[in-house]
Amino acid sequence: MTPSYSLSPPAVSSYTTTAGTPISITLTTFTPSPGSYVLVYAGNGSIINTTANYANLLYRYPGHYLVYYQVYKNGQLSGSSQGNLIEVLVAPPAFNESYAQLITVPVITLVNLTEPIVSVGQTVHLMAGFLQPPTGTNMTIEEYIWDLGNGTTLTIPSRNGTGYAVEVWLTGSGNVTYLEPARNPINVTYSSPGLYAVSLTVVTENITTKATYSYTTYYTIAVSSPTMPFFLFQSLISVPNPGTIVVSENVPGGPFSFDPDIDYESVGFEVISNIYGTLIQYYGANTTKFIPELAEYVPTVGNGINSNYTEYTFVLRPGLRASNGDPITAYDVWYSVIRDMLCAGGTPGTPGWILTQYLIPNYTPFTFVVTAPNDSQGAEEIINAISYNNATDTVTFHLPEPVSPEAFFTAIADPLGAGILDAKWLEQVGDGINFTGLYDHNFTQLAEAFYQYEQTCSEGSYNTEVQWPSGQSAGFTGPYYVAVYTPGQSVVLKPNPYWPNDIPYFPRPNDTVIIYWVKDPETAYEMFASGQADIVTGLPSSYIPLLEGLEAKGQASLYEFPTLSEFFFIFVLNVSQSALHSINPAYTIPSWYFANPLVREAFAYAFNYTQYINSIVGNVKYHFNFGSPYCGVLIPGLDYYFPPSQLTGCPTFNLTYAKELMEESGFYNISVYFPIVIASGDTTDFTAAEMWAQALSMIDPNIHAQPIYMPFSTQISYMVPGQNPMAIFYMGWIADYPLASDFINAMYEQGGTYPAPDGWDVSYLENLSAYFNASKVTWPGLSPSVEPEIGKMLWQEAMEYQQLNNVIMQADAAELANNVTAATTYYKQAEDMAVQLYMYVYTIQPNAYWVIKPYMHGYMGMISWEENPMVGGAADSWYFWWVKG
| CATH code (residue 686) | 3.10.105.10
- Residue 850 has what DSSP assignment? E
Same domain? 228 vs 294: no
Whether 1 shows a pLDDT value over 70: the answer reads: no
Note whether residue 772 is domain-resident: yes
Q: How far is CA 572 from CA 594, 675, 752, 794, in A?
A: 6, 11, 14, 15
Whether 871 shows a pLDDT value over 90: the answer reads: no
Note whether residue 354 is domain-resident: yes
Q: Which pLDDT belongs to residue 802?
A: 98
Secondary structure of residue 730 in the 3-state scheme: strand
Q: Are 293 and 281 in contact (CB under 8 A)?
A: yes
**Percentage of the chain modeled with pLDDT above 70:** 100
CATH value at residue 186: 2.60.40.10
Same domain? 701 vs 797: yes
Q: Are 179 and 164 in contact (CB under 8 A)?
A: yes
> Partners of 154 in the beta sheet?
146
| Ramachandran angles phi, psi of 301, nearest 5° | -60, 125
**CA-to-CA distance for 428 and 788, rounded, in angstroms?**
59
Mean pLDDT of 519-547: 94
Secondary structure of residue 519 in the 3-state scheme: coil
Q: Which pLDDT belongs to residue 28?
A: 82
Buried b (16+ CB within 10 A) or exposed e, 845-856: bbbbbbbbbeeb
H/E stretch holding 266 reads helix 266-275
Report the chain's mean pLDDT, rounded to a whole number: 95
Note whether residue 247 is domain-resident: no
Which of 91, 124, 152 is at the close of a domain? 91
Give residue-wise pLDDT tens across range 590-626: 999 999 999 999 999 999 999 999 999 999 999 999 9
Note whether residue 407 is domain-resident: yes
Same domain? 594 vs 615: yes
CA dihedral sign of residues 804, 807, 812, 815: negative
Give residue-wise pLDDT tens across range 373-426: 999 999 999 999 999 999 999 999 999 999 999 999 999 999 999 999 999 999
The burial of 732, by beta-carbon neighbours within 10 Å (0-12 exposed, 13-18 middle, 19 or more buried), is given as middle
Q: What dihedral angle (degrees, nearest 10) is formed by the CA atoms of 420, 421, 423, 425?
A: 160
Q: Are 219 and 129 in contact (CB under 8 A)?
A: no
| Ramachandran angles phi, psi of 715, nearest 5° | -55, -45
DSSP count for the chain of H helices, then E strands: 26, 38
Q: Are 762 and 802 in contact (CB under 8 A)?
A: yes
Cα 380 from chain centroid (whole Å): 35
Whether 853 shows a pLDDT value over 80: the answer reads: yes
Same domain? 579 vs 614: yes
Other CB atoms within a 10 A radius of the CB of residue 157 amount to 14
CATH value at residue 299: 3.90.76.10
The model's pTM is: 0.92
Q: Are 593 and 758 in contact (CB under 8 A)?
A: no
Helices (H), 817-884: 820-837
Give residue-wise pLDDT tens across range 458-502: 999 999 999 999 999 999 999 999 999 999 999 999 999 999 999
Q: Is the peptide bond before 185 cis (omega within 30 degrees of 0)?
A: yes
Q: Which pLDDT belongs to residue 776?
A: 83
**CA-to-CA distance for 655 and 603, rounded, in angstroms?**
9
| Ramachandran angles phi, psi of 245, nearest 5° | -100, 120
Same domain? 318 vs 381: yes
Same domain? 131 vs 155: yes
Close Cβ partners of 206 (under 8 Å, ≥ 6 residues apart): 102, 136, 137, 138, 139, 212
Close Cβ partners of 341 (under 8 Å, ≥ 6 residues apart): 352, 355, 356, 359, 360, 369, 382, 385
> Partners of 37 in the beta sheet?
72
**CA-to-CA distance for 312 and 449, rounded, in angstroms?**
27
Tell which residue, 746, 745, 868, has the closest CA to residue 410: 868
386 conformational bin, left if phi > 0, alpha if psi -120 to 50, beta if neither: beta
Q: Which pLDDT belongs to residue 870?
A: 87
Give residue-wise pLDDT tens across range 490-515: 999 999 999 999 999 999 999 999 99
Same domain? 484 vs 391: yes
Note whether residue 547 is domain-resident: yes
Secondary structure of residue 47 in the 3-state scheme: strand
Whether 658 shows a pLDDT value over 70: the answer reads: yes
**CA-to-CA distance for 106 and 103, rounded, in angstroms?**
9
Mean pLDDT of 747-769: 97
Same domain? 424 vs 526: no
Q: Which pLDDT belongs to residue 234?
A: 83
4: pLDDT confidence band, cut at 50, 70 and 90?
A: confident
Note whether residue 253 is domain-resident: no
Which of 51, 69, 91 is at the close of a domain? 91
Residue 339 identity: R
Q: How far is CA 196 from CA 45, 46, 77, in A?
A: 7, 11, 20
Q: Are 799 and 807 in contact (CB under 8 A)?
A: no
Range of the domain at 193: 95-234
Same domain? 680 vs 785: yes
Number of domains present in the structure of the chain: 5
Q: Are 213 and 501 in contact (CB under 8 A)?
A: no
Q: Which pLDDT belongs to residue 69?
A: 95
Give residue-wise pLDDT tens across range 180-222: 999 999 999 999 999 999 999 999 999 999 999 999 999 999 9
Note whether residue 242 is domain-resident: no
Residue 160 identity: N
Q: Are 366 and 752 in contact (CB under 8 A)?
A: yes
Same domain? 177 vs 53: no
Whether 349 shows a pLDDT value over 70: the answer reads: yes
Same domain? 465 vs 612: no
Tell which residue, 648, 324, 350, has the closest CA to residue 475: 324
Residue 140 identity: T
Tell which residue, 569, 537, 517, has the closest CA to residue 873: 537
Note whether residue 243 is domain-resident: no
Same domain? 664 vs 801: yes
**Percentage of the chain modeled with pLDDT above 90:** 92
**CA-to-CA distance for 687 and 697, rounded, in angstroms?**
16
Which of 91, 110, 143 is at the close of a domain? 91
Mean pLDDT of 722-732: 97
Other CB atoms within a 10 A radius of the CB of residue 642 amount to 16
Whether 58 shows a pLDDT value over 80: the answer reads: yes
Give residue-wise pLDDT tens across range 234-275: 877 788 889 999 999 999 889 999 999 999 999 999 999 999
Pairing of strands 153-157, 117-119: unpaired
